Structure 1
Amino acid sequence: MRILIFLLAMCGVLTACSNAQVLENPLKKVLSSKNPNIKRVMDSVDQYEVQIRYTQIDRGKDSVLFTDYDFQVDREDYFYPASTVKFPIAVLALEKLNEIDTLNRNTRFYVEGDSVETTFAKAVSEIFAVSDNHANNRLVEFLGQDAINGRLRNKGIDPVRISHRLGYHSDDVTTKPLVIYLNDSTTATLEGSVNTAPRPLQLNKIRKGTGFYEEDSLMEGPFDFSLKNYYPIDAQHGVLKRVIFPEKFSEKEKFQLTESQREYLLGTMHTLPKAVGYDPITYYDGYCKFFLYGDTKEDIPDHIKIYNKVGFAYGTLTDCAYIVDTKNDVEFMLSATILVNKDDIFNDNQYEYDAIGIPFLAELGRLLYDYELKRDK
């Protein structure tokens, strides 16, 4: 009898240990780190408006399993997405090319009134390599805001609202025509579109700070983001999952890309600026790779690839990434945003990007990478 009781007790202990292991929240563990890059943010976490989603990836013989862990992810709490919106715009531009027989990603074009001739492939490459605003805006002219928003919603990527171009906030809802080269001597014009004027967003934290600069004048009162782009963590992670793991989604939910297009897209997402001709001093490996390498000028090893899109503006830093280490069998997804604006004034260019924001995101990536190195899969 005593032996039976002992065995039952041991089973209970083992079950409890097993359940504890299952219930362990690695994100919570990482965010409790004493590392100063993490601790100084977590000690005043409300000030920094942090949101994080970390996805573990487990592979079976013929399946992929996601386990998501969130910290303060709330689609009702607004953050400015900055250049992260370029990711879905690039994907949707490739998708639209499939619907027009005379176009492909190497087709040359220019926006009416613009002196720069480019290709769709070059625009996508510039978006991921150095987060080029002009490249993004040319694809916005190609797609139109209503089509961008509608296509994303139809795939179940919601909520989202792309309302303006980047580099400047234009209230113009009419896109410009594109002049397309059908061959070396023949051109055609793709007409622009008239899009729906944005309505003010009704979200928490849509008005931020205590003041802002308008031209050279300091204006008192919070800065209003209600007419700006809206692309929360839910939506960002949803786009990333569909691009990296299209087989996990229905035909209606996935992006309709050819295999060649998807391979090109994935290549541009992880390719470093120096590999496509940019100055490696100005555009070092971590320039647009905040996680793991954002706070260092060191080269990223060949066996680590980061498929991602960052954004930084108005004191907000965001990264959405799929991180792979082929040498050590590590892969995970991570999306995070942080606001670093100590003086509470917007448009003064006094943001703690290098002092607080990027070190936090880099350390967050390193700690989760270290966790994944040791995790049983």
Structure 2
Amino acid sequence: MDVVAWMSRTASAKFKVYLRSALHIPPPPKTSVFTFLVSSSNINIYNGPSLPLSHLLPLRCAPTAGRRQRLELHRQLAVHQAQRKIPSCIRAQQRYPQGLLALATLNETADEERDLLARVEAKALQDLQAQEIVNSDAQILSSIEESLTREGQTSLEALSSLSVTLNQPIPDTEKLGRAIIDLYVASHDLDQAADRASILEKHLSGELEKINSLITELQSDAYQPPSDLAKQTADYQRKIKGLASKLPELKERVASLSASAGTPITIQDVKKEEDKFRDLMAVVKDLETQVKGYHGLPQDTDLARLELESLRVELRDLTRERDSMFEGLVERETPRKPR
């Protein structure tokens, strides 16, 4: 930056000397061109309206706006110069605006070049610093990899792959262990969930088969309505209409019977009579069972008794035969003691 500023100042000073010698302008009395511009904001070198020149300073206008203003000023000066005669006393000074414009243009160009050069140098320095950092890191990594043994390289690759798999940018051993444990727990939970889902699927498939079989059974001919359903429905409707027509007559009969009877029959009385009827039915069933035991006997009482006695004798003989067979079986199966 210092070198660029020095070159700019040197070029500006040389240009000033060259401009004075070319225009035959005497040197100013111990005052620079910039001091003259700042101190005299209005220069009346023409007899027309005064034109401000303070905006020609490089610090007060942008490059594009300054160029437009200088072109406008040059056009106005050309118009005034064409319309008016320039006095002979100021002929030597009529070239001051052109020199000032050239000097301002040179200063702005030098400032732009200096800024551009400064930006280029800063960008180059930044790139060099970044490249040095990257190169230093790469050299360190390459030296570490070269100094590792085969087991170390294998361990480093395993650690890096494990870190990438577990999404751990910093390979901390404790964090990796926790991540592995969490992964095992999640895997176990997923296995249990899969087992439960498979069991539920089997149960649902079994229920689905049952439902399909039930649907097939319901769609069979056994559950289809009979062909004469319409005829049966018509018969039932006719019977209902007949009973509905007889209902008032039956109600009158019930009313007359209840009026003729002394005490009305209650539900409790009907229940008692029903219980008595059930007891009688149980007695009848017992008697029928006893009668079935004598089935096959003759109808004559004496003959029946004789047949009963013969059956009893046969029963005794069979009992004795059974006892003898059991005793022989016991003697045969019982081990004898040696003498």
TM-score by length of 1: 0.17
- Give the number of the structure with larger relative contact order, counting CA–CA contacts within 8 Å between residues 6 or more apart: 1
Q: Which has the larger radius of gyration?
A: 2
TM-score by length of 2: 0.18
More strand by share: 1
